[in-house]
Every structure is written in C-alpha cells, then in structure tokens.
Amino acid sequence: MVDAAPEPKVNMGQPAPRIDGRLKVTGAARYASDMPVANPAFAVLVTSPIAKGKVLSIDPASVLDMPGVLDVLTHQNASGEVKAATMISQGGTASTSIRPLETDQIFHDGQIVAMVVADTFEAARDAAYRLKARYFAERPSAGFDAPGAQERSAKDASEKHEDPQVGDAEQALATADVVVEGWYETPTQHHNPIELFTTTCLWSGAELTVHEPSQTVYGLRAGLAEQLGMDQQDIRIVSRFIGGAFGSKGAITPRTALVAIAARRLGRPVKLVTTRDQGYTVATYRAETRHHVRLGASRDGRLTALSHEGWEVTSRPDAYMVAGTDTTARMYKVPNVFTKVNIVHADRNTPGFMRSPPEVPYMFALESAMDELAFKLDMDPVELRRVNDTMNEPIKGLPYTSRSLMQCYDAAAEAFGWSGRDRRPGSMRDGDWLIGWGCATACYPTQLAPAAARVRYRPQGGVRVETAGHEIGTGAYTVVAQMASEKLGVPLEDVDVVMGDTQLPPAPVAGGSISTASVCSAVALACERIIGRLVARAEPQTTASVGGPGAGLSGWTIAQGKLIGPGGEFHDVGELFKALGAGAIEEYGEFVPHGSSPDALAGLYAGKSGITGGSRLKDRIQYAFGAEFVEVRVHARTREIRAPRLVGAFAAGHIMNPRTARSQLMGGLIWGLGSALHERTEIDVRAARYVNDNLAEYLIPVNADVAEVKVILLSEEDQLVNPSGIKGLGELGNVGTNAAVANAVHHATGKRIRSLPIRIEHLLDA
C-alpha cells in the first residue's frame, strides 16, 4: 500500500478514499458562500482602525447616495438589534460578549463599526472605503506587560475554574535532588482557514435560513436565536462543507446576526464575505501565553514535584481561557503538583479555540521542561518519560482507560533511529550543518458529546445516513459512511451521507476531537436498531430475551444480504423485508457518552455543547497519546534552521480510517513544525493592532520547509471510551511538536529557546 493509505492493523478500519474527494477537487462541493440565492445584496464590513476609545461620528449620508448602495448599519441605527448571547465560556456559543453596533465604544482594533449593503459587492466595498467616521482614540493595552493590562487569577475570573493540585510542591522542590526551572512563551496565532468567514441570510416570512461555514450548526442556531430574540425552530443553518476551521468556526462571531438584520431590513437576501484581515479581528485567535514551570526529581529521574503557572491574554470584557494545566498536571507520575492559571485583560478581540487549544501552549512548556530535566540528569529523554509513565493520573489517582504513551515512544524511536543519538549538544554534525534530535509527548483528551443520527436501510437500495455533523476537512462524510457500511454490510459506495444542516438530527460541535467518536457512535446505534428489527422478525424468541425489538443486538450482523446470527444461523434479508411488508427500515440513534449530565440529550437538541470525557470524569481519565521525534539541522554559520524529518507514533483507540487518520496527524505534525519555527501574529504594541494579518506575511510552513513526515498508527483497544472504542485524533498530532523542535534545536546548538517561534536571530550567539 502507498504511504497515504496505511495497511490497517488490528482494530482499524479500511483506508477508504474520501467519498467527497471528487466533489471537492472538481469544485462541485458547495461551500456556504457558493450557495445560489436569488437576487442577493452584498454586505461589506467597516472595522475600527483604533483599539480603544469611541466612535465620535459616522456618516451614512456620505455614501447612501452612491449608486447601488442600499443601507448602512451603524450603532446609531442598529443599536439594540443584536441581543446578548451566552458566551462560550458559560456554556453558550458566542465568541465574544461584545455586541456588534451596540454602542459607540471600541474594545479592540478591527471591531465592527458599520456594515454597508449594496446591489453589488463592488459598490458595497467602495462605499465601505468611503464611509466617513471619526474616532476618539485612547492608548490601548496590547497584551502582557502593557500599562493598563489587568491580571487576575482564573479562579477569580470564573467560578467553575479549578487549579489541579496535590501534595506540597514547594516543599518537594526545596528537597529535590535536581530542579529545573524555566519561563516559556508562545505567541498569538491566527487559524487562517482558506475559506473566509462568510454568511448568507435569507428570510421567508419569519423564518431565517443561514448559509455559514460552521463547526456547530445547532450551536450557531442557538446563539443566533438568542441574539435575534427568535425561536430556534425558526432558524435553519446550512453548512455542507467547511473549508477549514481549526476552531475559528466553532463559536458564533458578531457578523452573523448583523447580516440577518440587514436582510430583514431590506427584505432581500444578504451575503457577506469578510476579507482575510477582517477575519483576524471579527473571529477569534490563539492568545499568547506565558508559563513558569519548575520540576523536581530524584537522581534516577523520578519526578517529585511539578509546578506550572500559566498566563493567557484575553479581551477587556471576557474571561476566555484555555487552562491547559488540566492536562499538564496529569501527564506524569508525580506526587506533588501545584498549578495556577491567570488571565490578562487587554484591549484585544476575545480569543477562542485554535487546534488543541490548551495543549499546544501548555505542553510546549511542560515538554520543554522535561527535556531540560533529562539534560540536567544526563538521562535519555525517552527514558525520563518511561520512568515517570503512569496508568493513574496523579491528582485524584484516577485510572487512564488506556495509555499507550511508551509504546508510541518505542515505535517512533525505532523508526527514527533514536538509538544512534549522541546526547551531547552540538556533537552530531554533517558538514556545515549541526544536527539536533529532539522528542516530546503528544496527548489529547478523549472527549465526547451526545449525538444523534438517522439511518435508512433498503435491502437493494443502499443506506442513507442523516446527521447534522460537520465536514471541516477531516473526512467526516467518509468515516460516517464507513460506520454504516461496516454495521449493515453494504459496500461503501452504497452509503449516502447528508450532514451540515439543522434540519437533520443534532450532532455536537466538530471540535475538541469529539466528532468521529460521538457521531459514529450514534450511527452505530441506529444501525444496531435496524439489525434488531430484522432479528425481531427472524427470531422473535431471541429478541424477547435481550430486551425486545430495537435493542442493540450483539452477535448479529448483516453481510451480503444475509442476517447472520452468533451461531452462524442466517436469514435472507430480502425475505425478512417481505415478511415485514417494508421497503425500508429507518432507525434513529441517540448516543450519550459516559459522564454526561442527565440533561445532556435535551442540551443536544438545544445546541448546547455537552462535551464530557478527558479529565472531566469522576471515575477515570481518558486521553489519546503519541510521541513525536524531530530532526533539525542548524547551519553552523548562517544559523538557518531546517527540519528535514518528523516522525510521530500515535495510539487513539479504534481507527475508523487509517488514511484520513494519517492525514490529520500529518497535518498536525506540520502545523506543529510551523508553530515552532514560523507562526506568529505580529502585534504593533502601540496600536494593539495585528500587522501581518494576511497570508503573505503570516508565516506557515510551505512544501520546501517539510521534507519527510512519517506517521505511525499503533493498534490500541479501549472498550471504555465508547462502544466502538474510538478516541478521536483530530487535534492530537500538533501537540508537543513545538517542544520536540525546540528540544532538537537545543541538541543541535546547546541553546535552549523558551519562546516561540524559534528564528535565526535567536541562534546567532549559539
């Protein structure tokens, strides 16, 4: 098999090509802004050029008589139209509490101050540029260390927040054989999905249809209903394909309600496509973080203490945080743990999820510190992880449902050739290139949420699966089809999947790596109910003993038109349908994961997140793991940094599709490389303004930066996480990569870089 389609190992499905691949590469897949609507008007946003202060005046009259211009929404004529929606941090879906066009107050650069609507996009854009506005500007606080930025503890900011702790870390640090201590920093980053933030709204009487790329159509509907003071039932969200999201389309941004209001005012559909730079401030981003980490260990490498304090930037009004100490406190066996999270309010837009939101910055700090500890102990960094590996997290002693961390290290180390490493920094050299080999742990919480799906089965006509899940580029259509194909014994090409629409059974946000496990579990349940109906007809005695028709029946399968029992007995499915007098059987599956609250299903239908699992559970802890190895080459004279080899080994329970899984993990590794060496949103601290808010100056790895990427999928069985044993892995791959790169740079040069991204200038004196 080719690299792209790894041979399935034990507990893996087939490496099926994406069933929507042809649609996408031929341009036939319709993204939200491609949806044809009759006679649309076009909206263009006007955003604030100042980060703090007030709009003194804004003059729609200056553009309203331009040809084609239809309307200009400002705080003077649209205040009060957009009601408050519940913030994402409070269990709602709003990305920010700043209501668009509510007042003259400016909270951040790039805040929406007006929306121009015209007959054509060109007319709207022209008018938006010409719209006259005057501002009263105050001096903004751009972030950490800025005068006027307000720091407070996460506990103070949020009642729900807990700082995991156990034992006495200070005491243990004071008496440890070896201590390492470091301050680490990660920069602001923006997701930059290739598909821009678009919204198209159409009213039909009191009913609203919204075409918008979204990671949560039910969540978007719930948030929009709050903002517009509407019944959720009167809103339909359609989002069939999403052109990249990475978290940026997981919350409702301020643009959506404005487009709906403009369309209602005009009595005509309105379409908005924000510009690339507007996306930097209208949507969210990964906030910059700081970390103070101290590790104490005995001479043999056993951790005796971990202290991790983190700081994160957020907006002035919102207490958004990612709080990754939930993960770092639980990674290794250590009896004394202190953690604390702080947030720093600045004059910035509210941050939000970005791929592996807590783990990317917080594991950078922990995994860098682990490497520093290994160096100080003169110990192999892999052996340091082995000595501190554990099947019970240290805070409450809860057992991991499964944990294949060291199997991942061993497999990746073998593939990488790690045993050939000389651990003295600067000791490995190839001509003018200093070679560095580094490694780090990847992990991601195995989270799930309630999900529903409807499955229709016809013996000759194939299978149709309906669920409001989301295809954000991960292969969701394909894995959902695979689950139905496997359960009902029909070829993959006979399965139709419909997703991305609030008229379909509800599915949770495609975020937190929950989608495959949650949505496929609902599909599996619906399929089992279909089998149950057939078994009830074929063998009424059997079903009576396991709880009646509709109950999931273990041991019964369908293959090649036969219903096959656990003892090998079989019935012709076509005959059973005849006996039932049915042309199709349709069943509805509702999956509720372990640890859900009693109102989780009601929440699913109401667009609430309902995410559980990971480190949230009372009786156990569930994570997927990986190990990542990186080779860097630093030029001895120019200090140019290359990363010719990335190797990652991962274990994430049942793998639905090794092809799409590899693709996710490879993308994660490459993003991790970019996060270490390239990516950073530059901020003009005087103006609190993003300056490289475009794809030309926002550095990401290109093909020339990425040479060899090897992804190894390990077999892992976990019966506890969900009946199908799926852990999810969308975010796993880019956790730890940044630390592995920094650790490799240290090995190459002897220089420890604790602030990302690592660039030539940081190594000039190395």
Query: Tokens standing for 74?
Result: 């400002």
The token duo for 634 is: 């630093």
Instruction: Considering only residues 577 through 606, tell me which ones interact with ligand MOS, judged by CB under 6 A.
Output: none
Q: Is residue 250 within the footprint of ligand MOS (CB under 6 A)?
A: yes
Q: How far is the CB of 570 from ligand MOS (least distance, A)?
A: 44
Cβ-based nearer residue to ligand MOS, 604 or 611: 611
Catalytic site includes residue 731: yes
On the question of a cis peptide bond just before residue 450, with omega within 30 degrees of 0, the verdict is no
**Residue 621: strand pairing partners:** 400
- Which of 466, 587, 631, 731 is an active site residue? 731
d(CA 310, CA 318): 18
Q: Can you tell me which of 140, 445, 511, 736 binds ligand MOS, judged by CB under 6 A?
A: 511
Residue 512 sits in the site that holds ligand MOS (CB under 6 A): yes
Side chain identity at residue 602, one-letter code: A
Give the residue at shortest CB distance from ligand MOS. 247
Tokens at 700, concatenated: 């990401």
Smallest distance from ligand MOS to CB 509, Å: 7
Told to check if 353 binds ligand MOS by CB under 6 A, we report yes
Q: Cα separation of 73 and 261, whole Å?
A: 9
Cβ–Cβ < 8 Å for 254, 99: yes
**In 56-133, alpha helices (H):** 61-64, 75-78, 121-130
Q: 511 vs 757, which CB is nearer to ligand MOS?
A: 511
Decide: is 476 part of the binding site for ligand MOS (CB under 6 A): no
Q: How far is the CB of 124 from ligand MOS (least distance, A)?
A: 30
Per CB under 6 A, the list member of 193, 223, 296, 357 interacting with ligand MOS is 357
Q: Is 469 in the site for ligand MOS (CB under 6 A)?
A: no
Q: What are phi and psi of 703, to 5 degrees?
A: -55, -40
Please identify, among the stretches 303-311, 348-356, 526-534, 645-653, the one whose residues bind ligand MOS according to the rule CB under 6 A: 348-356
Q: Is the dihedral of CA 427, 423, 711, 735 positive or negative?
A: negative
For the CB of residue 731, give the shortest distance to ligand MOS in the complex, in Å. 6
| CB neighbour list of residue 108: distance below 8 Å, 6 or more residues apart | 48, 51, 52, 98, 281, 315, 316, 347, 348, 349, 688
Cβ–Cβ under 8 Å, residues 295 and 180: yes
3-class DSSP assignment, residue 519: helix
CB of 190 to ligand MOS, least distance (A): 13
Q: 10 Å Cβ neighbour count for 473?
A: 23
* Among residues 294, 355, 421, 727, the one that binds ligand MOS under rule CB under 6 A: 355
Q: Find the part of the chain contacting ligand MOS (CB under 6 A) among 127-135, 266-274, 354-362, 615-623.
A: 354-362
Measured from the CB atom, the residue of 250 and 426 that comes closer to ligand MOS is: 250
Please identify, among the stretches 40-48, 52-60, 352-360, 687-695, the one whose residues bind ligand MOS according to the rule CB under 6 A.
352-360
What x/- string results for residues 203 through 242 when contact with ligand MOS is judged by CB under 6 A?
------------x---------------------------
Whether 48 contacts 691, CB under 8 Å? no
Determine how β-strand 683-684 pairs with β-strand 303-314.
Answer: unpaired
- Residue pair 160/89 in contact (Cβ under 8 Å)? The answer is no
CB of 268 or CB of 355, closer to ligand MOS: 355
Please identify, among the stretches 261-269, 276-284, 349-357, 753-761, the one whose residues bind ligand MOS according to the rule CB under 6 A.
349-357
Nearest distance from C-beta of residue 514 to ligand MOS, angstroms: 8
In sign, the C-alpha dihedral spanning 356, 357, 362, 368 is positive
**Among 354, 379, 434, 656, interactor with ligand MOS by CB under 6 A:** 354
* Minimum distance of ligand MOS from residue 515's CB (angstroms): 9
CB 646 within 8 A of CB 439: no
Residue 18 or residue 191: which is nearer to ligand MOS going by CB?
191
Q: Which stretch binds ligand MOS (CB under 6 A): 167-175, 351-359, 636-644, 719-727?
A: 351-359
Residue 250 or 296 with smaller CB distance to ligand MOS:
250
Q: 311 or 353: whose CB is closer to ligand MOS? A: 353
User: Rounded to the nearest whole angstrom, what is the least distance from the CB of residue 680 to ligand MOS in the complex?
Assistant: 18
Q: Nearer to ligand MOS by C-beta: 214 or 307?
A: 214
438 or 512: whose CB is closer to ligand MOS?
512
Tell me, by CB under 6 A, how many residues bind ligand MOS: 12
CB of 249 to ligand MOS, least distance (A): 8
Residue with tokens 């649209």: 78
CA-to-CA distance for 617 and 623, rounded, in angstroms? 12
3-class SS string, 415-460: HHCHHHCCCCCCCEEECCEEEEEEEEEEEEECEECCEEEEEEEECC
Closest CB 510 distance from ligand MOS, rounded Å: 7
724 phi and psi angles, rounded to 5 deg: -85, -10
Site for ligand MOS in 661-690 (CB under 6 A): none
| Residues facing 609 on adjacent strands | none
Q: Which residue has the tokens 């990986």?
A: 626
395, 399, 328, 327: which is closest to 166 by C-alpha?
Answer: 395
Residue placing its CB nearer to ligand MOS in the complex, 91 or 461: 91
Nearest of 202, 203, 223 to residue 214 by alpha carbon:
223
Q: CA 222 to CA 111: how far, in whole Å?
A: 23
Q: Which residues bind ligand MOS (CB under 6 A)?
A: 215, 245-247, 250, 353-355, 357, 511-512, 731
Residues classed as catalytic: 731
